[in-house]
Amino acid sequence: MSQSFRQPEILDIARREGKVSVESLAAHFNVTLQTIRRDLSDLAEAGKLERVHGGAIHPSGTTNIEYEERRTLNEIEKAGIARACVEHIPDGSSLFLNIGTSTEAVARELLGHSGLLVVTNNMNVANILVSNPDCQITLTGGALRRSDGGLVGAITIESIRQFKFDIAVIGCSAMDEDGDLLDFDIQEVSVSQTILSRSRKSFLVADHSKFTRSAPGRIASLSQIDALFTDQPLPADLAARCREWSTQVYMPM
């Protein structure tokens, strides 16, 4: 079966089952694993699927990918983004790191920094930074979201309002073509908006998969962000807008 026939059927299977694996598709079509990997990469580049470890999932505009899937999605790219980001975070800074696997990657890259004060609503970030003895860690409190270790709600927002951070490092679930930053959980949207309002500088860490996704809740515009750290060039129109907004865009070297 040719690629033009395989790929629509792969999409049909992904819509029905939510996820497809390389091995099961190779057996289904009687082709090699490498052939299926190429098909999935093509579909992911077209924004029709999202690659995860061992396969791909069907993207949704109303529900997020499960945390364990997000943790392995573009893991190498997120590490590179995080390294680029921490180059712009000086020792002795006060930071907020919010919920997300990209901000967790930033936390891992901060283990060598000194004199940090990090406030977070991400229990995973706090657990990572415990390994840095020269980092003061404050958890916001709030309602625990068991799915990913996030803290959200009114208590979280009230806690954040007690601070003024040097730098906020945030992630998002999606970014539309106008440069709006989007998320799935409305409580998390409110928390992120409060973080931005209490920070002198704001950094966004987001890999290229966010450029082709959608989500219902609007956090802010890239025009409100000082620097975006990503792994691939932005679409031309959005890159031009970032220049107009003086939003700096950095990619790993």
Tell me the pLDDT tens digit for each residue of 179-190: 999 998 899 999
Give the model's confidence band at 25: pLDDT under 50 very low, under 70 low, under 90 confident, else very high. Answer: very high
Burial 141-155 (b: 16+ CB within 10 A, else e): ebeebeebbbbbbee
Instruction: Please determine, for residue 9, whether its predicted confidence score (pLDDT) is greater than 60.
Output: yes
pLDDT at 60: 61
Q: What is the pTM of this model?
A: 0.78
The strand ranges marked E within the chain are: 19-21, 50-52, 55-57, 94-97, 116-120, 135-139, 143-145, 150-152, 165-170, 174-175, 180-183, 199-205, 217-221, 227-229, 248-250
Q: For residue 231, what is the DSSP state?
A: S
